[in-house]
């Protein structure tokens, strides 16, 4: 069991770090948070700092090492950047945080970063410290902490891709997080989807359209950038979900989905996603097969320039997007096809901010059985095993250094990126215990390998 001292220390550290506004663009606070993590790693954990420098003006990649002389090594990855937040609608100031009894959820720590991911970062580190202080840590630990996970982890991916990367070859890598989504059974993902992010933009210029907003009475003879943007968006993705293509599901994944469908509750998933219905009809098996095999182009925002105007032809329009693909499909291929299609739409420009492929590991990959075993003790229900996540993470970058990359951890959090982001106190205690147990079980697993 997680001791009260470890839990209290982890909660206090979470509170301290959530007070730091380490959001994209706030370089001073990003640096402050990075310094706070490095200082804790050195003074409290006694870790060696391998690297903690900024590259190309990006937030520092923190690489620390705890060497206990074991034969095997694991990687613990986490993040210190968070999304912006304003206090409107929150139960507490998002950058001060506090304990709130959330209706239907229970006693929780509420703050920006509580779930995503300063709570898991602090809990992960205190789990390691408790084992190390007790002389029970039986694996070497490479600790990697990302300062731009919310914007694609570019610096971390470059660090891991460097031929001279000092990360030691590891049995397994985990991304400790609260995996009891919506308060249900903890999920085990054996891989992650690929993603591309960017914008489609149209501005008034030589193709037509005004270079400044003009009166809408000119619509009969002046082209509208917003109309041209709608035309450009019609060339990719099938409404209403932006479906691009579906990939075949192999035999191993099909078997995992069949088992998953037996316990999967579509109604609970809808409640968790704050939605009344799915975009297709079908039972749990049909829904899971569809979401896991489908590549999609999501429009996350639409804007005209200037914003909030009426009775004008705007001088520009933009749509932000995320293109997500199952591991067997590459988002770059769809973007290439889209660029070709846009050549027939003068004025439309595709700007890609980032893109990387998905990656998948086998059900027998190192670390998987240890994770399942850790949930047997800590979780409220038998885990759900997914062949891969519908969300994206740079698993491919870790595959050069470890036999697996797994989202891992019991415990419940929620409202990431939203109002009243939280982690339950009971769930946080379970989370710390599950990470401690994984570190113990993976030592047994790898020593026997």
Q: Which pair of tokens denotes residue 172?
A: 């397994």
Cβ 166 vs Cβ 366: under 8 Å: no
Q: Are 38 and 49 in contact (CB under 8 A)?
A: yes
Q: Are 126 and 10 in contact (CB under 8 A)?
A: yes
- From first to last of its 449 residues, what are the pLDDT tens digits of the chain? 789 999 999 999 999 999 999 998 899 999 999 999 999 999 999 999 999 999 889 999 999 999 999 999 999 999 999 999 999 999 999 999 999 999 999 999 999 999 999 999 999 999 999 999 999 999 999 999 999 998 889 999 999 999 999 999 999 999 999 999 888 899 999 999 999 999 999 999 999 999 999 999 999 999 999 999 999 999 999 999 999 999 999 999 999 999 999 989 999 899 988 899 999 999 999 999 999 999 999 999 999 999 988 999 999 999 999 999 999 999 999 999 999 999 999 999 999 999 999 999 999 999 999 999 999 989 878 899 999 999 998 999 999 999 999 999 999 999 999 999 999 999 999 999 999 999 999 999 854 44
The structure tokens listed for 117 are 């991911």
CA separation for the pair 185, 385 (Å, rounded)? 10
**In 3-state terms, what secondary structure has residue 323?**
strand
Q: Give dist(CA 292, CA 386) in Å, integer.
A: 9
Give the domains, in start order, of the chain with CATH numbers. Answer: 4-192+358-448 (3.40.630.10), 215-356 (3.30.70.360)
With a threshold of 0.75, does the pTM exceed it?
yes
């Amino acid at each position: 069991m997680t001791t009260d001292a470890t839990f209290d220390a982890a909660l206090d550290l979470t509170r301290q770090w959530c007070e730091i506004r380490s959001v994209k663009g706030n370089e001073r606070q990003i640096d402050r948070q990075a310094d706070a993590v490095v200082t804790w790693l050195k003074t409290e954990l006694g870790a060696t700092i391998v690297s903690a420098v900024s590259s190309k003006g990006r937030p520092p990649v923190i690489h620390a090492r705890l060497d206990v002389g074991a034969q095997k090594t694991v990687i613990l990855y986490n993040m210190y950047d968070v999304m912006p937040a304003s206090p409107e609608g929150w139960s507490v100031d998002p950058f001060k945080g506090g304990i709130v009894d959330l209706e239907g959820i229970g006693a929780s720590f509420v703050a920006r970063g509580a779930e995503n991911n300063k709570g898991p970062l602090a809990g992960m580190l205190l789990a390691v410290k408790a084992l190390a202080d007790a002389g029970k840590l039986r694996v070497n630990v490479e600790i990697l902490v990302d300062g731009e996970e919310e914007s694609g982890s570019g610096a971390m991916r470059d660090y891991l891709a460097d031929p001279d990367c000092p990360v030691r070859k590891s049995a397994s890598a985990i991304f400790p997080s609260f995996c009891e989504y919506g308060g249900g059974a903890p999920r085990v993902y054996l891989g992650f989807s690929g993603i591309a992010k960017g914008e489609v933009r149209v501005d008034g210029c030589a193709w037509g359209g005004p270079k400044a907003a003009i009166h809408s009475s000119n619509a009969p003879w002046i082209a509208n950038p917003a109309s041209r943007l709608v035309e450009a968006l019609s060339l990719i993705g099938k409404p209403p979900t932006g479906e691009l293509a579906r990939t075949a599901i192999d035999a191993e994944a099909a078997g995992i989905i069949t088992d998953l469908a037996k316990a999967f509750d579509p109604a609970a998933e809808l409640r968790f996603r704050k939605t009344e219905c799915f975009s297709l009809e079908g039972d749990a098996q049909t829904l899971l097969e569809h979401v896991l095999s489908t590549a999609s182009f999501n429009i996350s925002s639409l804007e005209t320039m200037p914003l909030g105007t009426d009775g004008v032809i705007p001088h520009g329009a933009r749509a932000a997007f995320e293109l997500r693909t199952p591991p067997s499909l590459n988002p770059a291929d769809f973007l290439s096809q889209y660029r070709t299609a846009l050549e027939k739409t003068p004025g439309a420009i595709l700007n890609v901010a980032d893109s990387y492929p998905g990656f998948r590991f086998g059900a027998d990959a190192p670390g998987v059985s240890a994770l399942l075993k850790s949930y047997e003790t800590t979780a409220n229900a038998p885990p759900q095993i997914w062949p891969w996540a519908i969300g994206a993470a740079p698993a491919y970058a870790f595959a050069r250094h470890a036999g697996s990359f797994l989202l891992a951890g019991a415990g419940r959090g929620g409202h990431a990126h939203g109002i009243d982001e939280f982690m339950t106190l009971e769930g946080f205690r379970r989370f710390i215990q599950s990470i401690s147990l994984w570190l113990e079980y993976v030592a047994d697993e790898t020593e026997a390998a």
